[in-house]
Amino acid sequence: MDKIFRYSFYDLIRGRWSISYFLFYLIITIVLFSFSNDVSMVVISLLNIIIVLVPLVAIVFGIIYFYNSKEFTELLLAQPIKRSRIFVGQFLGIATSLSLAMLLGIGLPFIFYGIFISSEISNFIVILLTGTCLNFIFVALAFIIALKNNNKIKGFGFATLLWLFLAVIYDGIFLLLLILFNAYPLERLALGLTLLNPIDLSRILIILKLDVSALMGYTGAVFNSFFGNIGGIFLAALSLIIWITIPLFFIINISNKRDF
């Protein structure tokens, strides 16, 4: 698995995708700093870019890589290697390369502008860690979809719909429920629905860390009272880890049972 991981990682980190991804974040961050030298404003501006773009790129790139490397994967499957090690190694290679490109693209301009002597360093670290978690989560989801669908077009369609549902449609359903049942105590329901969506969970954690939860109104006060303490932060972090672990378990399970 280590050899497969290193091969996938080195192959991807030198590819056009990773270089373009790195340059995109590098240019965006430099442009944001050119508009404002306030580190906190740049961190807030990066919030929506990371929350929306990272999951989309991770799930699309994961799908494309899986289907494009199908012949190489079949060659590996013909060797005396456990199936789970092959797919987990590839998964780790893709997720790590995307995370590294994002971390370097965002981190280098922040280092140049003195993030280590800024009071915003903790917010900066939270955004990077959240983006890294989203990379691993959505690459894992992409592998699950690809393993379940041999048809490339169908797999790509399912991946796009899953991202659209979690990034846009889920929020609409969430808000509709809050409006329709606003006469009832919905604090526990709101918290539960948030933990079931990694994008929403990441967004709320960053917003609360940036101390702009007042923009979220009543729900912001509920989340702030819950996630603002140590127990809430621990539960949120545990939920993101579970969002990585469970899809990884499904990758292992499906790859062991599927007839290639």
pLDDT, position 189: 76
Domain enclosing residue 47, as ranges: 2-257
Distances (CA, A) of 69 to 8, 62, 153, 215: 10, 11, 15, 45
Residue 58 pLDDT exceeds 80: yes
The listed range with the strongest mean pLDDT (37-46, 153-162, 202-211, 223-232) is: 153-162
Q: What's the rounded Cα separation, in Å, for the pair 252 and 90? A: 12
pTM of the model: 0.89
Tell me the pLDDT band of 162, cut-offs 50, 70 and 90. very high
Percent of all residues in the chain with a pLDDT value above 90, rounded to a whole number: 23
pLDDT, position 217: 47
Residues 6+ apart with CB under 8 A from 103: 128, 131, 132
Q: What's the rounded Cα separation, in Å, for the pair 181 and 177? A: 6
pLDDT, position 103: 92
Q: Given phi > 0 = left and psi -120 to 50 = alpha, else beta, which region is 79?
A: beta
Number of domains, the chain: 1
The whole-chain average pLDDT of the chain stands at 82
Using one digit for the tens of pLDDT, what is the confidence trace for 106-133? 988 888 877 777 777 877 888 888 899 9
> What does the block give as tokens for 87?
């797919």
Q: Where are the alpha helices (DSSP H) in 149-229?
A: 152-164, 170-180, 187-195, 198-209, 217-227
Query: Average pLDDT, stretch 241-252?
Result: 91
Query: Average pLDDT, stretch 186-199?
Result: 79
Using one digit for the tens of pLDDT, what is the confidence trace for 217-230? 445 555 666 666 56
Using one digit for the tens of pLDDT, what is the confidence trace for 22-47? 999 999 989 888 887 777 778 778 88
Tell me the pLDDT band of 134, cut-offs 50, 70 and 90. very high
Closest by CA to 115, choosing from 212, 54, 106, is 106
- Of 8-12, 24-28, 159-163, 183-187, the one with minimum mean pLDDT is 183-187
- Quick check: 58 and 142 in contact, CB under 8 A? yes
pLDDT, position 246: 93
